[in-house]
Structure 1
Amino acid sequence: MLRTERPGDMLPVYELVAAAFGRTDEATLVNQLRECGAAVVTMLEEEEFEFMGHLMLSPITINGVEGPWLGLAPVAVHPAWQGQGIGSGLIRAALDTALEMDWHAVVVLGDPTYYRRFGFRPASDFGLHSIYDVPADSFMAMELQPGSLANLSGEVLYHPLFDQVAE
């Protein structure tokens, strides 16, 4: 069952995200983003009370300006359930939800081959760049509303809590 996160899900989500990443940094980040109100979209895949995958979208800024833009991170699928399309289902549902909520664009940092299938393109195509030292093609963007990134360019920042996650 694909659904949005509920208040009672905090501990199982923490455990799921920690298992998916093999450490607790990202799980702590999810809790902190939720606690400070920065968790705009949270999606969860569960089957008979077993949590299989989780995803979060939170606001970003472009050149220090807040706008109708989101960052997709983290995406977590429990190791026992990876490779079965759970992450893809979460991403598609989250993008649909963000569009329904009138968000205009989403950025993601990840595997270009994987994220292109959802419509992401190099962020540099939109004149956007990340502050993180990553390959340029790994930082991608997607307009949920056509033209929403037109006439924008510059530095994209995720919520400051992301800076606390160890590399």
Structure 2
Amino acid sequence: MKPSIIIRDETAADIAAIHDVTIAAFQSMEFSHHTEQFIIAELRAAGAMAVSLVAERDGQVIGHIAFSLVTVSDGSLGWYGLGPVSVLPEYQRQGIGKALVEEGLARLRALGAQGCCLVGHPEYYVKFGFRNIPQLAYEGVPPEYFFVLPLGDRVPQGTVTFHEAFLADSPQRHDS
């Protein structure tokens, strides 16, 4: 019997482990610019993570997911961006990423979110209900990689802008 996975809120004690998990998860991914750990640090420093969850097994953080508010050009409110999502390579393809996404979406619904969007692999996110919606776009990304999941009764029209942390390409200093 495999040990169970616990999905829980991030704590301050998890920060270093999340950093390490994120680096390891994206290390061999060709599409990555290998800045995901900096994005998470910037989102955290800006207080921009609306939901930040870890997957834990036997007391070890083995996965992480972040959700942050996005801006929609038509003024729609309550939309979030999913990402980054990371699972240690040795635990990938075991349903941990799926569990993180499902719990994160449940948390967004509880917050009254109107929807969620992401840039991701075309074959992975459709199983959660994400789809390409032509009236909502993310500039600079081919439409087949930009996915939207409406959680409310309407889909905005226009372009999505993720938090400026997604432009992070190196660690930043934040003075208290």
How many Å apart are 1:29 and its aligned residue?
1.2
Q: Is the 8 A contact 1:57 1:71 kept in 2?
A: yes
Matched residue of 2:128: which SS? coil
TM-score (ref. length: structure 2): 0.85
Give the superposition deviation at 1:165.
4.0
Instruction: Please state if 1:57 is matched with 2:67.
Output: yes
Choose the corresponding residue for 1:138, options 135, 142, 145: 145
Alpha-carbon distance in structure 1 between the residues aligned to 2:75 and 2:165: 17
Structure 2 residue 18 is matched with structure 1 residue 13: yes
Give the equivalent residue in structure 1 for 2:136.
Answer: 128
List alignment gaps of at least 5 residues for structure 1: none
Superposed displacement of residue 119, structure 1: 0.5
Q: Which runs of 5+ in 2 are unaligned?
A: 1-5, 28-32, 171-176
Q: What number of residue pairs does the alignment pair up?
A: 160
- Taking the aligned partners of 2:34 and 2:158, their CA distance within structure 1 comes to 31
Contact 2:42 2:168 in 1 (8 A): no
Distance (whole Å) between structure 1 residues aligned to residue 161 and residue 100 of structure 2 = 23
**Shift >3 Å, 4+ stretches:** none
CA RMSD after TM alignment: 1.7
Aligned mates of 1:48, 1:34 — CA distance in 2 = 25
Q: Which has the higher contact order (CA 8 A, sep 6+)?
A: 2
Partner amino acid, structure 2, of 1:123: I
TM-score (norm 1): 0.90
Structure 1 residues 66, 30: closer, same or farther in 2, change over 3 A?
farther
Aligned partner of 2:174 in structure 1 is: none
> What is the alpha-carbon distance in structure 2 between the residues aligned to residue 105 and residue 130 of structure 1?
15
